[in-house]
A and B are shown apart, each in its own frame.
Chain A
Amino acid sequence: MVNYGFMTIYWRDMIRFVRFKTLLISSLIQPALWMAFFGIAMSASFDRLGASIPPIPGVPEVQYLTFMAAGVIAMTTLFTSLFGGIVLLFDKNWGLMREIMASPLPRDHIIFGIALSGMTKSFIQVMIVMIFGLLIGVSFFAGYTIAHTVVALLGIMLFVGMFSIGFLFFSAAISISMDTPEGLQGIITLLSMPIFFASNALYPVSAFPPVLQAISTVNPLSQLVNGVRYFAIGDNFTTMGIHYVYTPADILLSFTVLGIFAISMFGVAWWRFKSAVVT
């Protein structure tokens, strides 16, 4: 018999997600605000710089706003996922974790349940960012047929899903190991900075110093951004005078890196949960 125990954890976390209205609304509005303020402000200056560089004939040129929209999607997914496990820490402190730990539910189901609900939240947010983006002039799916758009959307969600699951496993692992939300917040803030800025989310990495370039190449966030750009913009475009070409092999590699990341993070979470004692 297949055990759907993780759906219990999922169901309860989703109840909380829709119950706290302020949290729900702010988590949906925040990424849109990034697009609106940072995106529009930066694209005004970046596009002016880019205009001085002669375009490559035959290669479509993409506005900065469109370029960075993929980054905002990645960023939103990153932050939501990093904080996705925090409910476990609250449960540990407020006692509910004892009920769960003393129940027959296998511990890996706690991890899967939390990952699944975190992933769902990311999907919802990504949809909102894309819709909002399209409204303010992001040219995603430009010239796509309906079938192509559907495939592109599925591809994006596949990348978002794999990426978020990795960071949710990670978040669950540290949440079950930490004692205070402050400690967890500290670790997450410390990590989110380099992950976010040493990536190709907001700007091209070609101008980075070599060490930073190396970091950004293996950075899971860069893999996600690659995937989103490939599916939403295309495999061949220029932006700010830089030529981007993605081959299917590149994209498969990026996805594989995300897969390996998720599997190893699950290993970490599994190890932390196995040894967790909650009394």
Chain B
Amino acid sequence: MSTSIIEVEGLEHQYGDFKAVNGISFTVGKGEIFSFLGPNGAGKSTAINILITLLKLQKGEACIAGYDVRTEAEKVRESIGIVFQEVTLDRDMTVWEILEFHGRLYGMTRPDRKERIAEILELVKLGGQKDMLVKKLSGGMKRRLEIGRGLMTRPIVLFLDEPTIGLDPQTRMRMWDYIRTVNDEGTTIFLTTHYMDEADNLSDRINIIDHGKIIASGKPWELKNELGQDLVYLETSDNPRARSIITDLVSISGVSDKGKGILITTNDDGTKILPLIIEEIRNSGISVITVNLKKPSMDDVFVHFTGRELRDDKPGKSPATFRRR
């Protein structure tokens, strides 16, 4: 990392007695896609709201593009683009009016606005919808418009708070491509998400955040490697006894209970270890019911670090149960 765009040190935020952000520190390098991955209510949105100056910084230090979030809020605002978690479009304005309004809010000159709006419409492929009211756009188009709007002022950092929430799988894929394109053009991206696959696919660096703290941080493959090379899932007739047998075997880095079976992490090629494991268990008179071997996924990483799963938060489900924190 040659230059850091965001520097955060000891950030804390409290709502009454509840500590939503509990001491987080990190730096984001220029051109990175940096993500916060965590369940709803983990403190992601609170952290992002502090960085974009919507919430007052209570404790800690934060610097964006060289400006202090606490004392130079206006400079920070000029340097960043934001795509909020919820749709923040006036349904009764046209696509062009939305962008024009944004350009004016940020004090862009008329020729600047004209040029940029044309570019943005081209980029997010909404040229044909220029004079259409927002309420007539599809969900994907609205999201594209919001991302385009966030980019209008050529921000140094683009903040994306749950950018693909409520979008269908196909639109999500296209949105990811789109975010990559924006990043390739040099914009640093700060992303929050509670979708494993999104964090895995997009990020240069993932930070798993839970209970207001960063509990793991690294490149996606680094995080997965922490779990060993392969994961073996077993269901046997006597899980506790099988567990104690496996723990003593070579090339096993961890054993834990999972659902009706046990989860084994290996630090060697699982295809070679699995037959050994089964043999050992059978020799002890325990029968094996189910076997599964796989490479660790981001879900496994998450479970490993937080001790729980994010089952209810699969993409495409209605975001009705979603609450902002």
B-contacting residues of A (Cβ < 8 Å)?
3, 5, 7-8, 11-12, 15-16, 19-20, 91, 94-96, 98-105, 277-279
With contacts A102-B82, A103-B77, A279-B54 taken as known, whether A95 is within 8 angstroms of B87 at the C-beta atoms is yes
Q: Specify the chain B residue showing the minimal Cβ separation from A16.
A: B92
Contact assessment for B54 and A98 in the assembled complex, using a CB-CB cutoff below 8 Å: yes
- Min CB gap A276→B, angstroms: 10
Chain A at the B interface: SS class = helix
**Chain B residue with minimal CB distance to A9?**
B105
In the complex, whether B221 has a CB less than 8 A from a CB of chain A is: no
The residues of A that contact B82 with a CB separation of less than 8 Å are 99, 102
The number of inter-chain residue pairs (CB within 8 angstroms) is: 70
> Which A residues touch B106, using CB under 8 A?
103-105
Counting CB contacts under 8 A, is B55 at the interface?
yes
Given A5-B105, A11-B104, A19 and B92 touching (CB < 8 A)? yes
B105, A8: Cβ atoms closer than 8 Å: yes
The interface residues of chain A lying within 8 Å CB-to-CB of B78 are 104
Tell me the smallest distance from the CB of B163 to a CB of chain A, in Å.
15
Cβ < 8 Å to A, chain B residues 74-105: 74, 77-78, 82, 84, 86-93, 97, 101-102, 104-105
B107 interface residue per 8 A CB criterion:
yes
Task: Determine the distance from Cα of A40 to Cα of B172 in the docked complex, in whole angstroms.
Answer: 63
Scoring B53, B91, B105 by chain A CB atoms within 10 A of each residue's CB, the highest score goes to B105
A100 contacts B90, C-beta separation under 8 Å: no
CB distance A102 to B86 under 8 Å? no
Measured between alpha carbons, how far is A252 from B209 in the docked complex, in Å? 63
Cβ-closest chain B residue relative to A100: B105
Q: Which residues of B contact A105 (CB under 8 A)?
A: 105-107
9 contacting pairs across A/B (C-beta < 8 A): A11-B104, A12-B97, A15-B97, A16-B93, A94-B90, A95-B84, A99-B88, A99-B105, A104-B78
Contact in complex: B53, A279 (CB < 8 Å)? no
> In this assembly, does B52 line the interface, its C-beta being within 8 Å of a C-beta of chain A?
yes
Known A104-B74, A279-B55; judge A96-B104 contact (CB<8 A). no
Closest to A101 in B: B54
The reply on B282 being an interface residue by CB < 8 A is no
Q: Which residues of A contact B84 (CB under 8 A)?
A: 95, 98-99
Tell whether A99 pairs with B102 under 8 Å between CB atoms, given A5-B107, A12-B93, A19-B92. Answer: yes
Query: Contacts A99-B102, A102-B77, A104-B74 known; A278 to B88 CB distance under 8 Å?
Result: no
Is the pair B54, A278 in contact by a Cβ cutoff of 8 Å?
Answer: yes
- Which residues of the partner chain A approach B105 to less than 8 Å between Cβ atoms? 5, 8, 99-100, 103-105
